[in-house]
Amino acid sequence: MKKIIYILIAAAAASCVRDLDTLPLNRTEPVAEYVYGNDESAYLSGLARLYFQFASNDLTDLQQMDGGASELVRAFWSVQETTADAAKCSWENDAWVRALNTNTWNETQNDAVYAVYVRTLQGISYVNEYLRQTTPDKLASRGVDEALAAKISTFRAEARFIRAYLYWIALDCFGPVPFSTEESPFGGTYTPPQASRTDIFNYCVNELTYLISDQSPMLEPRSLYPRADKGSAAGLLARLYLNSEVYTGVPRWAEAKAVCEVIFDMGYALCPDYPALFRGDNGQNPQARGEMLWTIAYDASNTESYGGTSYLLAATLASTDITDTSKPNGQVNGWAGLRVPYEYVSRFFEVSGQDYSTGEYSVDDKRGKVFYIKGRQESMDGALYSFMNGWSCLKFNNIPHDQTEQEYLPTANTNSFANVDFPMIRLGEIYLIYAEACMHAGGDASARVAALRERAGVSPDVTVDKDFIMAERARELMWEAHRRTDLIRLGLYDSDEYLWPYKGGDSFAGQPFASYKRIFPIPPTELATNKSLIQNPGY
């Protein structure tokens, strides 16, 4: 299935304006009806284009950016992780880096922030147009038979999930954003009105609640990896409820708990080997797939993207770390960009005995065995833009789970891109949502917490409180694009209660920063285009 969907995606991406068979390049341009007809492949190709929005390097609306940097998974990861405590980037000459590393962005356009904004809103417009072109009336007018119409109804459900996920990213990062559906006007001079965070939240909740219902044609859980299904929709709904108080001012812990319990009955299972979740064969390994509620699939033989997991593989090593006899994460590029502050590693994994000449260190927690420290300096103090200061993270790794580095070397020599599927939602996250919900709403999550801890090889005997949740999510979900959202929900993002290196400015000790930065500014180019938009407070 992975190769099939990427063949379709590649075909959709390669289409030019002359023969585009899926969706418009311009956000307001309607799709000509003649491209669909009554053949299933056209509708499936259109759906693939919607999935591809997460991994797209298309620069139609981002002409001034590097294609890889503009990809949504990469841009969202950057705003989630480098603005928090788990990651810093050494690329001081890249326009987005300094502001995100030190929480000093302002309303001036930041490339990573801009990419997240445009990719999400652009993707939503694509979904809306796909839904306009696949209504029952449209299908009937094209002579689509009953069996194909039933299949297309499942495609439409997937499209609605993709739109909900994109709206979640937008409301999480920007708060109130332009809102439109397939029922909205489009084309010409129409610009969507700005909806409140609460209204977008409620819309997404309603959509996802329907998608997991018995009335929905959404695919059943675990039915067609890597496409989205009812498990994916339930996972996103649990995440929305988890963050409800941030988004709407009203906590919904009981609802979060209830949705998690629904997911527990959907047949997912923790992968017994934590590192296997992030290896180059995670999309083929049944045990790793069994934990995934939804992923963005990457396949080096069919996609050549410098975003997504290719970014997480290449940017975490220097070229000097990669030799003919050693490729620590199974690929050939070393961009010398991303690393983890030692303070994060020390606090959450309790490492000891590190030897930077040999690369050896000791840690009990198996989740902490993913760091590469050979040739590194421990502290980033005064060296934020020196890549060799800090610890490299090899959590995402092209080497299959059942091969050693040396066994994989012949293949590694040809790999410039990633085979690692990026986990958008997985069961380990759901266990932690459940634990946090039980902490607030009552209930016993001890078995779920114990399962995560036992897999990591550490004591399951813990007290589930705010400090534990903050630390356990740091360990379990490190570098999975959750950290900014987590720290905001826990009241730690901008306050002086929790500091990290370079938080809020150029001081290594860190300092609090203005609370309005819990959301990013609406890009100035969008304000100029859509006069109905109001800039977020503080910008």
**Distance between CA atoms of 12 and 338, rounded to whole angstroms?**
32
How far is residue 223 from each of residues 153, 226, 288, 420, measured CA to CA in Å? Answer: 16, 9, 15, 20
Bridge partners, 372 (sequence order)? 392
User: Model confidence over 340-368: pLDDT tens digits?
Assistant: 999 999 999 999 999 999 999 999 999 99
CB atoms within 10 A of CB 374: 15
Percent of all residues in the chain with a pLDDT value above 70, rounded to a whole number: 91
How far is residue 473 from each of residues 262, 425, 464, 483, measured CA to CA in Å? Answer: 21, 14, 12, 8
Confidence tier at 304 by pLDDT (50, 70, 90)? confident
Residue 60 pLDDT more than 60?
A: no
Unique residue bearing structure tokens 């841009």: 75
Give the pLDDT score at 187. 82
Residue 56 pLDDT more than 90?
A: no
Q: How many helices (DSSP H) and strands (DSSP E) are in the chain?
A: 21, 10
Confidence tier at 405 by pLDDT (50, 70, 90)? very high
Angle at alpha carbon of residue 351, lines to 350 and 353, rounded to 5°: 140
Structure tokens at 180: 């439109």
Which whole number is the average pLDDT over 17-36? 41
Which whole number is the average pLDDT over 451-468? 97
Which whole number is the average pLDDT over 482-508? 98
Residue 34 pLDDT more than 60?
A: no
pTM, entire model: 0.94
Lowest mean pLDDT among 184-193, 204-213, 247-256: 184-193
Residue 268 pLDDT more than 60?
A: yes
